[in-house]
């Protein structure tokens, strides 16, 4: 099972601030309501992000579908793009849209390290910062 990773959440929040986004972690105890909330929220006045943070030392991460349903619902109401923000050991931060994540037979989400490295977005791509070479 993927760990919550408070230290990693803090690292992500700091990276977001450096990229000129205002960012905030969710309370450790959750929302104290019935509503799911993302681990991290960020915005820069035009892009708003809700990020479910998962970190692991293994090569695969499983995430309960209920958790992602909650992320998507929050983001739909709030007005934010939902992302899974994933940190494997010795990878950068990798970001996947929920719809691009493989599902198990029981409809939970399964993210393999190799797949994430190949398919996921990096932070500056998620933040709308063009990585193309400028001529």
Give me the residues that bind a second copy (CB under 8 A), please.
10, 13-14, 17, 20-22, 24-28, 31-33, 35, 37-38, 41-46, 48, 74-80
Q: Does residue 29 carry a catalytic annotation?
A: yes
Q: What is the chain's length?
A: 135
Minimal distance, residue 73 CB to a second copy, in Å: 8
3-state DSSP of 11-49 = HHHHHHHHCCCEEEECCCCCCCCCCCCCCEEEECCCCEE
Which helix (H) or strand (E) segment holds residue 8: the answer is helix 6-18
Q: Which two tokens stand for residue 91?
A: 């990878």
Task: Please return the burial class of 41, using the count of CB atoms within 10 Å of its CB with bins 0-12, 13-18 and 19+.
Answer: buried
Q: Which is nearer to a second copy, 42 or 120 (CB)?
A: 42
Least distance to a second copy from the beta carbon of 41, Å?
6
Q: Identify which of residues 13 and 63 has a Cβ nearer to a second copy in the complex.
A: 13
**Binding region for Mg(2+):** 9, 39, 52
Which CB atom, from 17 or from 104, has the smaller least distance to a second copy? 17
């Amino acid at each position: 099972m993927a760990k919550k990773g408070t230290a990693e959440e803090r690292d992500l929040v700091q990276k977001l601030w450096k990229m000129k986004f205002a960012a905030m972690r969710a309370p450790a105890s959750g929302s104290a309501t019935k509503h799911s909330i993302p681990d991290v929220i960020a915005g820069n006045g035009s892009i708003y992000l809700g990020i479910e943070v998962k970190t692991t030392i293994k090569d695969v991460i499983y995430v309960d579908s209920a958790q992602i349903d909650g992320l998507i619902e929050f983001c739909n109401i709030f007005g934010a793009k939902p992302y899974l923000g994933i940190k494997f050991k010795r990878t950068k931060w990798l970001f996947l849209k929920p719809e691009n994540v493989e599902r198990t037979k029981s409809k939970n989400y399964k993210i393999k390290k190799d797949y994430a490295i190949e398919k996921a977005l990096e932070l500056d791509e998620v933040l709308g910062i063009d990585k193309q070479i400028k001529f």
